[in-house]
Amino acid sequence: MISLLALLFADTLLLLSAFQFKGNGDIQWCFSQVKGTLEDDVTEADIISCVEFNHDGDLLATGDKGGRVVIFQRDPISKNSIPRRGEYNVYSTFQSHEPEFDYLKSLEIEEKINKIRWLKRKNPAHFLLSTNDKTIKLWKVSERDKRVEGYNTKEENGTIRDPACITALRVPTIKPMELMVEASPRRIFANAHTYHINSISVNSDQETYLSADDLRINLWHLEITDQSFNIVDIKPTNMEELTEVITAAEFHPAECNVLVYSSSKGTIRLCDMRSAALCDQHSKLFEEPEDPTNRSFFSEIISSISDVKLSNSGRYMISRDYLSVKVWDLQMETKPIECYPVHEYLRSKLCSLYENDCIFDKFECCWSGNDSAIMTGSYNNFFRVFDRTTKRDLTLEAARDIAKPKTLLKPRKVCTGGKRKKDEISVDCLDFNKKILHTAWHPSENVVAVAATNNLFLFQDKL
């Protein structure tokens, strides 16, 4: 594969396709144009809330605030073409979660899909975990292209035949049929979290997974739904003494006994389940001392870590706070080895961002397949890509007006003051209602998925 270094940072990303999500679950292709009136039709339920590639990158799953999961499959022609293209078609759509009501607490439970995680494929079917605030579900996605005809005890429409009418036995036959993709819930893991689930992560053993809420992390076995083991509990005896909450958690990609979780105080804790069954005492604490010159009223809010991701090699991890992305070496706790400002120009806007609640937005981040680059989102439908080798960075826009195949993306620049150049946009003109919170990178190729409100954009490097 041509190196990301040579491709990614020379106007190389191009738009392959964009999908328009509508409330009825249908998806329209938007290759040439997107009508402006469609933006006004967006409802809360249509907004994409998570994006996740499976382990070989052939499937891409998205969840939305309406509880729906839409799975895209890579087009075989584009996959086998030379050069390879990253085009995806709709594979399956199903309703994962429904709105619920907790009568004991008089609390509504939203159907919004918070996270999706794929299991490694072991048979022809695919399995994935999806979760809302309270309930985790294991889904099986399978294909059926044959049907059985010639039953002895029932008619073709499924009704049971009268035994008195059965005068002969016949051998059922298998006939081909139009391909049908079925999604069925195999396990439902519920009633284990008092607070809202913010993370799920499948262990490298592919037998267990963790789920994390604000104060606890539970360990589940994929075959056991009625019990889980609490491995982290930071709830104080007196809730008035609560000073931090868990914001994200993830298992190590290779070591099944190691996990990390981040907190609202800007710290990351690494836990080793071999040292103790209850991991309240961490093995390592990753924290960067605060620069006194940047101390302000908003320091604690913007230092909260919204996402943490271990690298594919397992050597590093990235953490995303409000203004930056940091790369940590698991062997060095004192400070990050790299720090990339995402939108430093917003530091002067923190007061207005606090008033409109944007300062509490939770941006995700992701690694490239070979750990050489990082991607995360920003406002105005901008997303940022950082090359760790050259230390160069790009600001790109997932815009509807470039929704044409093979359209090159031009780097965007934000002007913070003074005279604005032709291709720059003023920080005062940024649209804070348009934000890229969820991104995903193909595990082995330079294909990325970016969720912008109710649109899913797919980009790849220049061919």
- Whole-structure pTM value: 0.87
What single-letter amino acid sits at 179?
Answer: L
pLDDT by residue for the chain (463 residues), tens only, comes to 333 333 343 444 445 455 555 544 432 222 222 222 345 567 888 999 999 999 999 999 999 999 999 999 998 888 877 777 788 999 999 999 999 887 777 788 899 999 999 999 999 999 999 999 999 999 999 988 888 877 888 877 778 888 888 778 878 888 888 888 899 999 999 999 999 999 999 999 999 999 999 999 999 999 999 999 999 999 999 999 999 999 999 999 999 999 999 999 999 999 999 998 888 889 999 999 887 877 888 999 999 999 999 999 999 999 999 999 999 999 999 999 999 999 999 999 999 999 999 999 999 999 999 999 999 999 999 999 999 999 999 999 988 776 666 777 888 898 877 677 777 888 988 999 999 999 999 999 988 999 998 889 998 886 5
* CATH tag, 25-461: 2.130.10.10
CB atoms inside a 10 Å sphere around CB 237:
6
Tell me the pairing of strands 413-415 and 424-426. parallel
